Structure 1
Amino acid sequence: MSIDVGTGEDVPQFGLLVRQHRLRIGLTQRELADFSTVSVRAIRDLEQGRARRPRQDTVRLIADGLRLGLRARADLETAANQGRTSWAVKAAYEADPPAPPFALDVLVGRETETSTLTGELASGAERLVTVTGVDGVGRTRLALEVATRLHTAERTPVLWCAADAAPAGGDRLAALVRACVHQLLNAGDATDDIAAFVDTVADRPPLLVVDGVTGPVVRADRVAALLRDCPGLRILVTAAQPLHLPGERTFLLTPLAVPEDDDPLTIGQSPAVRVFVERARRVRPDFTPAPADSGLVADICRRVDGLPLALQAAASWLVVYDVPTLHQCLHADPANLLHHLAGADGDIRLRDALDHRLAALPTADRDLLADLCRRGDRFGLADVTALTGSSLPDSGRAVRDLVLRGLVQPSYEAGQSRFRILHLVRATQLESAARPAAGVPAHVGA
C-alpha cells in the first residue's frame, strides 16, 4: 500500500490539487493509480513536486480517476499548464515540423551508410545512434543527409543542435532544444529543461540531432529517462568517440573508398576520386584528369586516406599546381603532407583537429600508437602483443579503441585481421613527436 508523504512549500499547484482531491474522496495513491492507470510513482512524484510538468494525457487520466466535475477539471488543467512551455511553441512545432539545416553540397559515396542509418532510425530499430570516426571523415554531413531523408519521407520533425551551442538565444523552440541538450551533456542538478522538452515534443516525437560531442560528460541516466519519457524519440549524435551509453548503437564512419589499383577504367568510379574531382572543379571548372594523370589522382586519394576534408584541401591546391606537382608535394615527407592539409586558403582546422585528437588519447593508447607509427603503418595483433607484452585480450581492447576512434582501419587478409594506421594520423604523430613539447592545440571541430 502506498504511503502518503507530506508536501512542502515548493510543490506546484497541480500536485497540491491532486493530493487535495484524492484525500477528499478518501483514496490512497495506489487506489488512484488503479482508477486512473497512471503509475503510483508518477502520482507520488507529482504530489511531492519532483515531477512538475505532467503530460496532457496524464492530466486527463488523473482527472478521470478522481471523477472531477467540469470546473474542478478545468482548474486542474490550468494548474498543469502553469510553468509549462508556451502552448504557442508546442502548437507551432506540431503544425510545422522543423526541418534540418539545408545542405550546401551533394553527398557522394555514402549511399550504403545513409540508407542503413535512415532505415534503422525510421523503423525504430535503433533510438540512440552515435556516429563516430576520425576528424574530417564527414560525420556531420552524414547526419544531415539522414535527417533530411527522414524529414522529407515522413515529415519527421528534426531538432538540430550543436553540442557546444549556448543554451540561450534564438527562437524559443531552438533555445529549449539547446537547454535540454545542455542538461543531457553536463553534470548539474537541474532537469527542468529536459522536462519542458518532453512537454513540447512528446505528442509528435522528433529526431534530435546532437552534433559534435567532444566532452567526456554525458548523463546516461538523463538520456535513458528522456528516451523512456518520450516514446518514439530518436537521438542521432555525432561524436569523436563512442559515448558508452546503454542502448547506444555505435556507427563507425570510415573514409571514402579509394582505388584499389591504377586501372583507368575503375579509378573514376571510386567515391574518393569523384569527391576529389568535384572539389577540384570548384577551383578549376575545366578540370578533367588526363589519362596519364589518372594513376596519380588515385594515389593522391590514397595518400590522404579518402577523407573528404583532406580531399578538399588537396584539391584546392590545383589552383596553383598541376596533378604531377601536387602528387610530388604530397609524397615528399610527412611535414609537407600536413602542410597541404591547410589547403590553398590556409584553413588548418583538419590538421589542428588531428593534433588535438592524438593529444587527447588516454596515455596508454597514445604511447601504443606512437610506437606503432615508428614501426610503419601496418600491423597485426601479434605485433601489438610483442610490442607491449600484453595479453591478446588486452591488445585487442587497445586496438579496438583506436579503431572506434577512426585512427586505425581494420582489414581481413587471408583469414587474419590486419590493421593500417591512416597516413594522415601517422604523419601527424611523427611530426608531433619531432616538435618541442608544447601545449595542446585548441580544438577546431570537423
Structure 2
Amino acid sequence: MSIDVRSGEDVPRFGLLVRQHRTRIGLTQRELADFSTVSVRAIRDLEQGRARRPRQDTVRLIADGLRLGLRARADLESAANEGRTSWAVKAGYEADPPAPPFATDVQLGREAETGVILDELTGGAERLLTIVGIDGVGRTRLALEVATRLHTAERTPVLWCPVTTVGPRPGGDRLAALVRAAVDQLLDSGDGGTDDVAAFVETVADRPPLLVLDGVTGTGVRGDRLAELLRDCPGLRILVTAAQPLRVPGERTFLLTPLAVPEAGEPVDPQSPAVRLFVERARRARPDFHLTAADAGLVGDICRRLDGVPQALHAAASWLVVYDIPTLHRCLHDDPAGLLHHLAGAEGGGGLREALARRLADLPTAARDLLAALCVRGDDFGLPEVMTLTGGSLPDSGRAVRDLVLHGLVRPSYAAGQSRFRILHLVRAAQLCALAARV
C-alpha cells in the first residue's frame, strides 16, 4: 500500500510518513511511544516538523513500533536521511577530532586558573563555564590553553568558534560552517529555528566535544537553547569567553583577574607573573634586554601602574624600542591621559583604550555613577565606604560592588580576612578622561 506524503505543511517527509503510518494502523502517539520506547514528545516533534533530523536508533525504534515491512522501513530510513548533515562530515569529525587554534605564545602565570577550569570540566562538575574579566586580561588565551590541554591529553574534539567573526572562520570547511550556524542559533542571531542545533547534535553526539564560544558580547544568549543542547548532547562541555556573565541557568562564572604584581615597597621578584611577562615582551623589542637591579623597582612600579593586565604590559614593553626603563616609567606616570595615550599608540594596545571606554559606557547608570564617585575618592575601599557614598543597605552595596567586580573593573582583595577592593589604574584613567571630556 502506498502512502501519500503530500502536504502543505512545512514538515519533512519522515514526519509525514510516521504520522500517516501511525494513523493508518490506528495508533495514537502515546501507543506508538509505548510500542517503540521513543518519548511521546519526540514523536510529536517529528510529526509536527519541530524535530527534523532523527537519530538512527530513533528511526529503528519507530519502525519497529510501527511493525513496518522491509520496503516501508527502507522508505522511512531514506526519508530520515534526507537533509541530514553529510555522513562524511560526521565520519571525518570522529576519525580526526578537530583541534583548537595553534597558540603563538607561551602562557605565563596562569597555572592555577588553568588547573581549576580543567578540573571542573573534566570532572563533570561544570558543563557550561564562562570566563569573564576586563578586556586585555587574557580570557581567550586561557581558554586556548584549557582547550589545547584537553585535546592533547584526551583527544577531546575542540570546536572553536570566534563569535565576533562573521561566518565560518577563514579556511573553514563544512564542519566549521555547521558549528557557526548552530552557534548563531544559540546566540539568537540566526533565522529563529533550531535545525542547525539539531544537525550539530547529530554530528557530535557520539563523541561530544569541547565547544568554545570566544568573545561573546551583550546578553543575547538563548538560555533555553543552551539547556536543550546540553540535554540532547550528554558529555558536551561549553567554554565561553565573554565581557560579562551570560546569566543563564547552569552557568559557572569564572572571574579572571589580572596577573599578580609586586607589592609596593617590597623587593621585586623577577619570577612574579607580571614582571616575567613584561621582561619576555621587552626582549621582543630589545633582544639584549635584561632586568637589572637598578631597573627592577621601576619595572615593578610599571607593572602595578598597568594593573598586571597582559595586553597593557605587551603594549608598554613595545615602547622599549625607543625608550629606556626610566623614560617609560615617567611617561606612564605623568597623567591618566598620557597613560592611555601611550597604550593606544603601542603594539598590541590599539584597541585597549576603546575597549575600556565601551565597557564604561555600557555600564548601567547606577554602576557608572558609583564607579565615578569611587574614582574621585581615590583610595581602596570596602563595603562600608560604598554604603556611605550611596546611602544604600549592605545587600544593595554588595550587589553594586559585585557587578563592578564581574565586569573586571574592580580588583578584590581578601587579606587579613577582610574584603577590600581597588579600582584598576587603567579604569580610573579611562573614567577620569571620560569625565574631563564632558566638562
Whether 1:325 aligns to 2:332 is: no
- Relative to the length of structure 2, the TM-score reads 0.94
Q: Which residue of 2 aligns with 1:74?
A: 74
Q: How many Å separate the matches in 1 of 2:426 and 2:263?
A: 18
RMSD in angstroms over aligned alpha carbons?
1.7
Give the stretch that moved more between structures: 189-198 or 63-72. Answer: 63-72
Confirm or deny: 8 A CA contact 1:381 1:396 kept in the other structure: yes
TM-score, length-normalised on structure 1?
0.93
Partner of 1:385: 387
> Are the equivalent residues in 2 in contact too, given 1:143–1:238 (CA < 8 A)?
yes
Deviation at 1:249, TM superposition (A): 0.2
Q: Deviations over 1:363-410 (max 9, x none)?
A: 110111011101104111111111111111111100000001110011
- Report how far residue 325 of structure 1 moved: 1.4
Three-state SS of the structure 1 residue aligned to 2:419 is strand
Runs of 4+ in 1 over 4 A off after TM superposition: 261-264
Q: Does 1:364 align with 2:384?
A: no
Report what 1:166 is aligned to: 166
**CA offset at residue 22 of structure 1?**
2.4
Measured in 2, the distance between the counterparts of 1:144 and 1:297 equals 28
The structure 2 residue matched to 1:226, chosen from 214, 220, 229, is 229
2-side partners of 1:413 and 1:158: how far apart? 38
Match of 2:341 in 1: 339
Inter-partner Cα distance in structure 1 for 2:374 and 2:401: 11
Output one character per residue of 1:228-258: Cα deviation in whole Å (capped at 9) or x when no partner: 1111111111000001010000000000111
2:35 alignment counterpart: 35
- CA deviation vs aligned residue, 1:303-344 (integer Å, no higher than 9, x gap): 100000001011111111111111111111111111121254
Question: Which residue of the partner structure matches residue 93 of structure 1?
Answer: 93
Deviation at 1:417, TM superposition (A): 1.3
Counterpart Cα distance in 2 of 1:67 and 1:149: 48
Whichever residue aligns with residue 300 of structure 2, its letter is A
Of 54-63 and 286-295, deviating more is 54-63
2: CA distance, partners of 1:108 / 1:69: 64
Equivalent-residue separation in structure 2 for 1:345 and 1:295 (angstroms): 24
1:78 Cα offset (Å): 1.0
Describe the SS at the equivalent of 1:414: helix
CA contact (8 A) 2:314 2:347 kept: no
Q: Post-superposition shift, 1:211?
A: 0.6
| Contact 1:167–1:182 under 8 Å retained in 2 | no
Percent identical residues: 78
For 1:177 and 1:410, the matched residues in 2 are separated by: 37
Task: Output the amino acid matched with 1:369.
Answer: L
Equivalent-residue separation in structure 1 for 2:333 and 2:94 (angstroms)? 55
5+ residue gaps, structure 2, are 1-6
Say whether 1:191 aligns with 2:162: no
Q: Report Cα offsets for 1:87-125 as digits up to 9, x if no partner.
A: 111111111111110000000000111111112112222
Equivalent residue for 2:318, pick from 300, 312, 316 = 316
2:206 corresponds to 1:203:
yes
What stretches of structure 1 of length at least 5 have no aligned partner? 1-6, 438-446
Give 2:180's aligned residue: 178
Question: Match for 1:52: what amino acid?
Answer: R
- Aligned residue in 2 for 1:140: 140
Q: How many residues were matched structurally?
A: 430
Query: How far apart are the structure 1 equivalents of 2:57 and 2:378?
Result: 62
Residue in structure 2 matched with residue 4 of structure 1 by the alignment: none
Contact 1:262/1:294 (8 A) holds in 2: no
How has the CA–CA distance of structure 1 residues 284 and 203 changed in structure 2, closer, same or farther, with 3 Å as cutoff? same
